[in-house]
């Protein structure tokens, strides 16, 4: 997750809300078994993760001004986006502002987040009007290591995700946290960017359900 959802330039233009920093609150290190985790960025922004059954994760990126608005994702293993929707201040979502994602897995299932794993295949975006667009997707999982953030040590795997079609490509860098089953976005580069746009991660804190 998220993947911060756009697959190619403009893929989420109809959904995107200006995401803004939210004041971070110091807390203890999250531990395996926590079902809610907040990622805090050095720029003051936050993203909330809630673990769901069957390896799924709900990701919430708050919009400017707070008040409960923002983008909400569901993803598999915290890596493969399944849905993204604009959330209203009351917590509701609109089907006309919701995208669904599918993956061609007949020949090979989606790779689990493990060192050295690779998945290359077709990713399909299902739009609210019933139309579909397809892209080639590549997920490459790097070597397991340790990452220290705000005095806490985590087992992590770097992930490079790339989506390609006849309009170009977009790449995203994720950091997968093994003990929580979720990934945090740390960088993005579009075909027109001269260099990746990095976002420094400051730390993780537990949040209550």
> What confidence score (pLDDT) does residue 140 get?
98
Looking at the domain assignment, is residue 18 inside a domain?
no
Looking at the domain assignment, is residue 31 inside a domain?
no
Decide: 6 and 170 in contact? Cβ < 8 Å.
Answer: yes
Looking at the domain assignment, is residue 19 inside a domain?
no
> What confidence score (pLDDT) does residue 94 get?
80
> What confidence score (pLDDT) does residue 11 get?
42
Q: What single-letter DSSP state applies at residue 29?
A: P
**Residues whose CB is less than 8 angstroms from the CB of residue 72 and which lie 6 or more positions away in sequence, other chains included:** 58, 59, 60, 61, 84, 85, 87, 93
Q: Point out the residues of the chain with pLDDT beneath 70.
A: 1-27, 64-67, 209
Residues 9-48: b if buried by 16+ CB within 10 A, e if exposed? eebbeebbbebeebebeeeeebeeebebbbbbbeeebbbb
Looking at the domain assignment, is residue 47 inside a domain?
yes
> What confidence score (pLDDT) does residue 209 get?
66
Looking at the domain assignment, is residue 115 inside a domain?
yes
Looking at the domain assignment, is residue 9 inside a domain?
no
CATH number of the domain that 179 lies in? 2.40.360
Domain count within the chain = 1
> What confidence score (pLDDT) does residue 23 get?
42
> What confidence score (pLDDT) does residue 206 get?
95
Looking at the domain assignment, is residue 6 inside a domain?
no
Looking at the domain assignment, is residue 71 inside a domain?
yes
> What confidence score (pLDDT) does residue 108 get?
86
> What confidence score (pLDDT) does residue 89 get?
75
Domain extent, residue 175, equals: 36-206
> What confidence score (pLDDT) does residue 207 get?
92
pTM for the model: 0.85
């Amino acid at each position: 997750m998220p993947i911060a959802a756009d697959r190619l330039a403009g893929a989420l233009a109809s959904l995107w809300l200006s995401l803004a920093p939210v004041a971070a609150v110091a807390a203890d290190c999250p531990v395996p078994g926590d079902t809610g985790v907040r990622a805090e960025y050095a720029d003051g922004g936050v993203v909330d993760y809630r673990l769901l059954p069957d390896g799924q994760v709900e990701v919430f990126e708050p919009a400017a001004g707070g008040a409960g608005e923002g983008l909400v994702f569901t993803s598999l293993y915290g890596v493969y986006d399944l849905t993204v929707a604009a959330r209203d201040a009351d917590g509701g979502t609109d089907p006309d502002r919701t995208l669904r994602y599918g993956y061609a897995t007949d020949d090979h299932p989606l790779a689990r987040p493990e060192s050295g794993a690779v998945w290359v295949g077709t990713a399909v975006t299902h739009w609210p009007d019933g139309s579909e667009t397809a892209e080639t997707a590549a997920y490459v999982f790097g070597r397991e290591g340790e990452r220290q953030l705000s005095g806490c040590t985590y087992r992590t795997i770097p992930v490079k995700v790339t989506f390609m079609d006849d309009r170009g490509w977009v790449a995203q860098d994720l950091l997968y946290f093994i003990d929580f089953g979720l990934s945090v976005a740390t960088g993005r580069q579009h075909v027109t960017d001269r260099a990746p746009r990095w976002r420094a991660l400051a730390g993780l804190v537990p949040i209550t359900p």
